[in-house]
Chain A
Amino acid sequence: MSLPWTERYKPSNLKEIAGNYPAVEQLLGWVRSREDGKATTKRAVLLTGPPGTGKSVAVGLIAKELDLDLVEMNASDSRTEELVERVAGGASLQGSLFGRKGKLIFLDELDGISGREDRGGLSAILRVVKESRYPIVMAVNDPWDPKFRSLRDACEIIQFRRIRSPSIEVQLRRIAKLNGVAVDDALIARVAERAGGDLRAAINDLQMLAEGRKALKDEEVGMLFSRVQERGIFDVMKSIFSAEGCLEAKIAAEGASVDPEMLLQWINENIPNQYPDPADREFAYDWLSKADIFMNRVKRKQMWDLFSYAIELATGGAALARRGEYRFTRYNFPRRISMLSATKEVRGNKKEALREIGGGMHASMKKVATEYLPYIEIIEGAGATGGGALSRVAGSKET
């Protein structure tokens, strides 16, 4: 089995790292001063930045450069607390087995820690940071997640940025050459472009296209699906509403950082914002309602594979309702949740009334709600939807 190219062509010293020189320098400086026993502002470093920007590679090479024992752990594991205690905790108190003068403790991919179920993991990390006699470096993709607040305070933050396309192109060309593949410049540019600053992704894509080949032409990049990147929900909404066709809308939705149910809520909330024309709204809502049917089946029958149909119908409808150019729109957060909490009491009263009426009339609550209640409301007079009027009705039935 051949090695992934990302492994085989890993940089072998700090100078070979592509991009992010200032961040690498800063990290090297910090580890050095910790090693020399100089006071540093913070006891640990938090590396932040998107995947594939060189965080782990930099840490590995710095350990090599300074001849430190590298103790690594990957925190995307469910038993984080135990693992942190065992690996980082164990390493932080003992000397080196190989007589090296120091160690570098590296906790990678902390994003995997779940804030709620794994609270112990994060506090175990903070404990180790406080007690460790060796420098500790951590890496996360998104440092602004609320669960990392206390960690952010305890750490110096060093930012890794997306690697610019020209730097990625240089690496891709180098690797292609080492493999003896003649590659079109246009293709290199395309692969670099669609990687979106993720060098690891770009190299993986190149390997997929080029391994075992002698030459590659631009057209062949079509073999790659565009890479899904997690994006903010406002971006996703814009991409869905501006999509040209169902496929594009669906792909836009794949990068959403919210779950499918919430995504439908977002579409639901924003159709009227996007489409002032009632006919367009009708079209979009019609398809959204069909999506909702699938969504309901997902929940009732636990048939998770129906999710994709719900998403296709909802996003496709939202996109195809557009006639003419996309119009810039401010999207709102779905009000469903706040409305649900605001109307909790009224809904509670109504439910109570429905139960009582149903009891008196031998009908299900659903039937009362759809078939009897509208008439009762008319009889009681317009605007009598309030709990008071209804319970009066319900009360009168009982007597």
Chain B
Amino acid sequence: MTAVLRTENLRVEYKSRELKQQTKVALKGLNLTVQQGEVFGYLGPNGAGKTTTMNVLLGYVNATSGAAYLFDVNTREPIARQRIGYLPELTYYYKFLTAEELLRFYARIFEIPSAETEKRIDQLLKLVELDHARKRPIRTYSKGMQQRAGLAQALINNPDLLLLDEPTSGLDPLGRMKVREIIQRLKNEGKTVFFSSHELGEVETICDRVAIMYQGELKVEGRVTDLVKEFQCNLEQVFLKVVGYQPEPV
């Protein structure tokens, strides 16, 4: 199998501007590999280093030491993102554009030929059920519609790797179901999906493998079935054990 996503001793430090404030280490030598065709769940409590990892993979933040690779290309190079799709947790799109204009804009960034772009826009807007609202500005969309427009933009380049940051947060049950269906469809097509989530039940249902981060370190990594067997409990309890959660006596 080919490694689609790889980090090698990835360390990220944030230097504080305040005097006497210590440097914050967000990632402490992370080694992670995601193989082609996997649905990989990236878990951890807030502040565990999930967002920092995403930021390095997307080129927003440079590693202090070590490196991250997408399709064997260092993530410092913009071309590393040619074959990926990214869906942020919240919708951040140009609200004065319509959904089809937004998709056309991103297709131009990927340098997709015009005829192919139009074909994909039609397909994607049907897929995310926004075909009826394609000519309306995004600012008139409901939150769920905006999230679906986000999903469409993440798929515009027919990506081999999809990075999803809390893809179902803020969605209603129908929206969640739709996202799950799309992830499953992508998996069936042999695509790789890497997603961070707090919805452990959902992760257990969808993912092949998971990694649990805590305080910038990778604590556990493995197949969901293996972890459930090893810890003899469901994924939520595995997660709580790994992060050292002790329930207070009632």
- Chains A and B form a bound pair: no
- Taking Cβ atoms with an 8 Å cutoff, the residues of B that contact A are none
